[in-house]
Structure 1
Amino acid sequence: MAEIAKGDVRPFYLVHGDEEYEREALVSSMIKALVPAQTRDFNLDVLRAERLEVLDFFQIYETYPMMAESRLIVLRDAEALTTDQCRGLERVFATPVETSRLLVVGQKVDMRRKFFREFSRRGRALEFRPPYDNQVPQWLQRYAKRQGVKIAPAAVQLLSQYVGAKPRELVSEIEKLVSFVGVGQPITASAVEQVAGITREASVFDLADALGKGQGKLAQKLLQKFLSQGEEPTRAVAMVTRHFQLLLKAKGLIDQSLSRDKMAAELGVAPFFLPGYLEQAQRRSAAWLWAGLSALSEADWRLKSQGRRQEHLVLDLLVTKLCRKH
């Protein structure tokens, strides 16, 4: 967008990737920047690959803009373009029209295909991938800023840990939180706890803590609390697995004489949560954590391979194993 704002406009743009929210935000911004609102009805055409006729495309592409310097054609679902369609469209490279811009949008675009390689070479290709777990806080902050939403760092971290790298669910939670706190009001960690269903009684910290102390009945109760809130069993196992992995990493950091901020950054958690991780990490042996991860891995495999009928049995056995290893 910075290039376009400076007047450096390319004839071809390819915007693709599985991360639809940032991808579509860019597409929307590009349309606004490239086609003035007052002439958009005349100079913006949106086409879809599955219904694309190459001859019709060129009739639009070669049409002179009306009351504007250029026109924009948006071609969506690029991954659905057939080989014949791509061959036909390649003519734009030989005879590009100076007053037309082509914006191709897709999800899983195969950049090995000649058409997309050439498109990228002659224009600009931008890929949007879903964030990794450690990138979720930054993703949330960018999204919130774009929406004009204020969100506290502790709320960002809590929401990141609860939802994980699932942009669609993150956006849904942000929308619910905005409705809860009111437009223009900041989102706090307390609001996340109330809206996202993360309560003190059913936090991943408490579940891991109960398992570490061998408190099987309490661990079962907290696990059932997760599930009653609509949490998928595999997701609950994944949350505890990630927590155990962070505890192992925390054990390795404790003896390194790092500042608290540095340790929090290394773990990828907010400083607000660091004391809890350190306290749990110091109380557990590395051997116990590794054994726990092994049991969690086995439970994850069984949940995915044995179906819903075995969920309660698998989870009961998991809690029993983890508590025995205390």
Structure 2
Amino acid sequence: MIFLLHGADSFRRRQKLNELKERFMAAVDTLGQSLIVIDGKTTDARELQDKISAGSLFTKKRMIVIEDIFLNKSETVFTGLLKLCEKHAGAEDNAIIFNEGEIAPTKIKADAKKLFAWLQKQPFVQEFKPLNNSQVIDYAKKAITAKGGQISPGALSLLITRTGNDLWRLDNEITKLVAASAGKAIDNALVIDMVKGEVEDNIFALTDALGSKNSSAALQLLEEQFAAGLSAEYILAMFQRQFKIMLQIKTIQAAERLSEAQIASKLKLHPFVVKKSLSQSSRFTLAELQNGLEQLLKLDYLNKQGRADIKSELYVIVASLR
């Protein structure tokens, strides 16, 4: 049997490969002695011939996994491999699995193109294209449930905004969030605290611009966030968090002089966040921070009541905080 797993989504492709390996080992060889993995980028015709055609002393069936063969620079390896595949295609003794990234037929050589065309005609072919946003959301919901967790709709939206369609990172973040939630539903605050994204640096830059009274730069940065596809709800949540942190720090500093480490411990924040926010808070008066947070919270409330256009109001708030 010949399998072709290919496509840009390496996470789901690897999941499928692991599933095939586990099924083979459970049914044929629990020790994995008949499971062979070949590095396709560096292999040659001799290694392919030896490992595909050789028998096993322990089992009649074998699984041969060939990784990234279409990245091989050899002029001759593909012709010999195609002949080997044609010979073993109908045999039950070997399962040959090709695990490949995204393949552009126009960018591979003639012999490689022939092999790819032949593989595509086999019964077991699966392409793993990157998931779109709704598919990523669906994947995340299932993954969270499978790991024994729960998540609010808003927190799920924040999580996907921060990880995008990088399923390797998304899966890792889900594992951490479920563990940290301790049986409770994952909420916005937990996602904001635990899952870092590029947007966080942009929010810091935006508040820096506001604190410097540079409204034109702040408006440009805000526009860039919308152009990058970030939702108004997400930007609002990040603004609320940053103004809340700055207000907390400003209030603490007014009452008692604490070190950065002491503030981080007191507020349970990462030292880096405290360092940046401490610098930013010095650009605002206590009254400005209170007023800014009040406006953001009011906007959040009006939005939940269906009585506000967040995007337009954010522009107004940014322009007014001068």
TM normalised by structure 2 equals 0.58
Contact 2:152 / 2:186 at 8 angstroms: preserved in 1?
no
| 1:101 equivalent among 95, 101, 122 | 95
Deviation at 1:243?
4.7
- Could you tell me which residue of structure 2 aligns to residue 258 of structure 1? none
Given the alignment of the two structures, is residue 21 of structure 1 paired with residue 11 of structure 2, yes or no? yes
- Could you tell me which residue of structure 2 aligns to residue 73 of structure 1? 64
Q: How many residues align?
A: 238
Deviation at 1:119?
1.0
Query: Residue by residue, what CA displacement relative to the aligned partner does 1:172-196 show, whole Å, maximum 9, x if unpaired?
Result: 32233234234x6653444223323
- Could you tell me which residue of structure 2 aligns to residue 167 of structure 1? 167
- Could you tell me which residue of structure 1 aligns to residue 24 of structure 2? 34
Contact 1:149 / 1:186 at 8 angstroms: preserved in 2?
no
Which amino acid counterpart does residue 149 of structure 2 have in structure 1? K
Contact 1:79 / 1:108 at 8 angstroms: preserved in 2?
no
Deviation at 1:21?
1.6
Counterparts in 2 of 1:245 and 1:129: CA distance versus 1, 3 Å: farther
Query: Which ranges of 4 or more aligned residues in structure 1 deviate by more than 6 Å?
Result: 218-221, 233-236
Distance in 2 separating the partners of 1:169 and 1:59: 38
Given the alignment of the two structures, is residue 242 of structure 1 paired with residue 232 of structure 2, yes or no? no
| 2:76 equivalent among 84, 90, 112 | 84
- Could you tell me which residue of structure 2 aligns to residue 134 of structure 1? 134
Query: Residue by residue, what CA displacement relative to the aligned partner does 1:286-321 show, whole Å, maximum 9, x if unpaired?
Result: xxx9xx8xxxxxxxxxxxxxxxxxxxxxxxxxx99x
Deviation at 1:141?
2.3
Matches within 5 A, 1:140-289: 140-145=140-145, 148-154=147-153, 155-182=155-182, 186-196=185-195, 237-238=224-225, 241-243=228-230, 275-276=303-304, 278-281=306-309, 284=312
- Could you tell me which residue of structure 2 aligns to residue 46 of structure 1? 37
Say which one has the larger Rg: 2
- Could you tell me which residue of structure 2 aligns to residue 312 of structure 1? none
TM normalised by structure 1 equals 0.57
Given the alignment of the two structures, is residue 58 of structure 1 paired with residue 44 of structure 2, yes or no? no
Greater mean deviation of Cα atoms: 57-66 or 16-25? 57-66
Q: Provide structure 2 residue ranges, at least 5 long, that are not aligned to the other structure.
A: 107-112, 234-299
Deviation at 1:74?
0.5
Which amino acid counterpart does residue 84 of structure 1 have in structure 2? T
Q: Provide structure 1 residue ranges, at least 5 long, that are not aligned to the other structure.
A: 1-10, 225-232, 247-271, 293-318
Give the aligned CA root-mean-square deviation in angstroms.
Answer: 4.6
Counterparts in 2 of 1:284 and 1:234: CA distance versus 1, 3 Å: closer
Greater mean deviation of Cα atoms: 132-141 or 85-94? 132-141
Contact 2:40 / 2:67 at 8 angstroms: preserved in 1?
yes
Contact 1:151 / 1:187 at 8 angstroms: preserved in 2?
yes
Query: Residue by residue, what CA displacement relative to the aligned partner does 1:233-274 show, whole Å, maximum 9, x if unpaired?
Result: 99993456535699xxxxxxxxxxxxxxxxxxxxxxxxx999
Contact 1:73 / 1:101 at 8 angstroms: preserved in 2?
yes
* SS class of match (2:77): helix
Contact 2:41 / 2:67 at 8 angstroms: preserved in 1?
no
Query: Residue by residue, what CA displacement relative to the aligned partner does 1:185-232 show, whole Å, maximum 9, x if unpaired?
Result: 65344422332369xxx8x99x99x9xxxx9559989x99xxxxxxxx
Matches within 5 A, 1:296-307: none
* SS class of match (1:23): helix
- Could you tell me which residue of structure 2 aligns to residue 295 of structure 1? none
Counterparts in 2 of 1:99 and 1:43: CA distance versus 1, 3 Å: same
